[in-house]
Structures are given as structure tokens and as C-alpha cells.
Structure 1
Amino acid sequence: MNEAESEISTPPDGFEPLIRKGAFSVHNGPFFFRPGDGEVVEQAFYALPRHANGLGLVHGGMLSAFMDGLLAAAVIRQARRPAVTIHLSVDYLHMARLGEWVMGEARLTRAGKDVAFAEGRAHVGGRDVVRASAIFKLMNRER
């Protein structure tokens, strides 16, 4: 754990570190999740300096990447297949700041043979900061 990560406050109740395999997610984390097998996937991150723009606000690119991963997790959990994003729509509603926990929740809204749809939101202290929806290409599992 580097010096900035040691500044992360205790995760919200019920959240655990999320182990990600991809270098992009590892670099941009750490991320946390609430275990469960229901329809709603919950993840979070603590806003560190590397997540912010020059104004001390969480960068829109960080929020977009967080929502992309969160929506994908909802699709993968419910469709039980790997998926890749083919469209992502993000609405920025409010600001998130350094030192805040950004909480996200997402769910699969529909899945067909080849594509799936998901929607979700990220919030800080009860106020929505982002709403997003996405379309995913469902992949076949590698053998």
C-alpha cells in the first residue's frame, strides 16, 4: 500500500476490498464492494489525490471509469457471462470531492442473446453525483 492509500478512511459498513486483475483498475483503485448475490451490485472508492482534477474535485474521467466497471459487474453477475462495453452514457449531476467516499450501485435491466443493458448511479452523502447506463456485448467464455 502506498502513502496515499494509507490515508483511506475505514470503508463503509459491509464493504471489502475488491481485487481487480486488470492493470487499469489496479492503478485507479483501490475499489471496494459489498458482497452479495442480489440484483444490485454495490461498489465504492475513496477519493484520493490521483482521482481529482486541479480543483480538488473527482475527475469526470474517474467517475466514468468507475461507472463503467460497476455496470459491467452488474451485467456479469446477472448474465453470468463476460461482457465488454459497447456504449456508455454518463450524466454528471453533482460534484464529488477529495476525501469523500463515492458509493455506487448498478443493476442489469435487460439481457438478450448477444447484448445486455445496465443502469446505475454513484452518490456521495446521499446526493447523486452520476447516473449512467450502458450496453454490453456478451462474450462467450474462453475454454
Structure 2
Amino acid sequence: MTDQDIPPDGWKPIRIEGFMGQIGPLLRSTRIEDRNTYGLQTNEGHKNHIGLVHGGVLTSLLDQVIALVAWNSADRQPTVTVQMDTRFLGAARAGDFLETRATIRHGTRSLIFVDADITSANGPVASASAIMKISSQTGQTA
């Protein structure tokens, strides 16, 4: 076990299979007031050719956290991303701890509108707004 495998105080790993499992582990805040807050400890494997955390890592992190928050909001019914607009606000470097918060902006019977932000110790990194569709079946296509 390395230091990278030990979550910081106030965080616990959550099991996510598939693609996000390759990027993670994804961490969830254990603080009650931060129910929709997730984290990712970045490392050398997350960087692009200029040494910054790759934009694909950031967008994947945003999409995963948005999906988790939407899923919980929809009483754990599957949700799929219909649209996600991402804004890159700053840079993150390999080794940075990224904190991601998502907030439900609005919901209907079939759609959930979610906003999310990624921050590091150096300030804002990225934000996104997404529309999530509540799906009646796992694996259903839009």
C-alpha cells in the first residue's frame, strides 16, 4: 500500500467499476454537510503531455459526480447524460487533490438539471452544467 492508496482524513473510497475505476479511486466526503462532494487524488497517470491533469480526466470526473448526484436525486433510478457543457477555469497538476461538488438545479419527472465544480488547493479548475435523463432501464439508450 502506498501513500496514494490511503484516502485523506474525511474521505472514503467508493467502488466504481468500468472506466471511472481506471481513473480513480473516487472518494466521497464523510462530512454530513458535504453529502454531494467527491474527490480524486491525481497522480502522474492523470497528466497530459505538458504536465497538467488531462481535460478528459476532468470531464470524466464531472460526469461521474453529476451522474451519482442525479442517481441519488432520482431515488437511485439509472440516469444518463443527455448534455454536459464544461468550462475549464484553471489548471490542475499531477499530485493535486481535486474536490468536486454537484448541486441539483431543477428536476422534472424525467430530467434532472445539475451543476458541478472542481476545485484544487489553487482554486477553481472546471465547472459543468448537465441535463440528466431518468431512465427506466439500465443500459437504455437515449
Matched residue pairs, number?
137
Q: What secondary structure does 2:94 align onto?
A: coil
Aligned residue in 1 for 2:131: 135
Cα RMSD (Å) of the superposition?
A: 2.1
Whole-angstrom CA distance in 2 between matches of 1:38 and 1:140: 30
State yes or no: 1:88 paired with 2:55: no
Contact 2:85–2:130 under 8 Å retained in 1: yes
CA gap 1:134/1:68 in 2 versus in 1, 3 angstroms? same
Aligned residue in 2 for 1:68: 63
Aligned residue in 1 for 2:47: 52
Whole-angstrom CA distance in 2 between matches of 1:39 and 1:8: 22
Aligned residue in 2 for 1:116: 112
Q: What secondary structure does 1:13 align onto?
A: coil
Deviation by residue 1:64-118 (Cα, 9 ceiling, x = unmatched)? 0000001111111122121000101110000000111011110111111111110
Task: Give the TM-score taking structure 2 as reference length.
Answer: 0.87
Q: What secondary structure does 1:8 align onto?
A: helix
Task: Give the TM-score taking structure 1 as reference length.
Answer: 0.86
Contact 1:16–1:33 under 8 Å retained in 2: yes
Give aligned-pair identity as a percent. 26
Whole-angstrom CA distance in 1 between matches of 2:4 and 2:102: 23
Runs ≥4 in structure 1, deviation > 2 angstroms?
9-13, 35-40
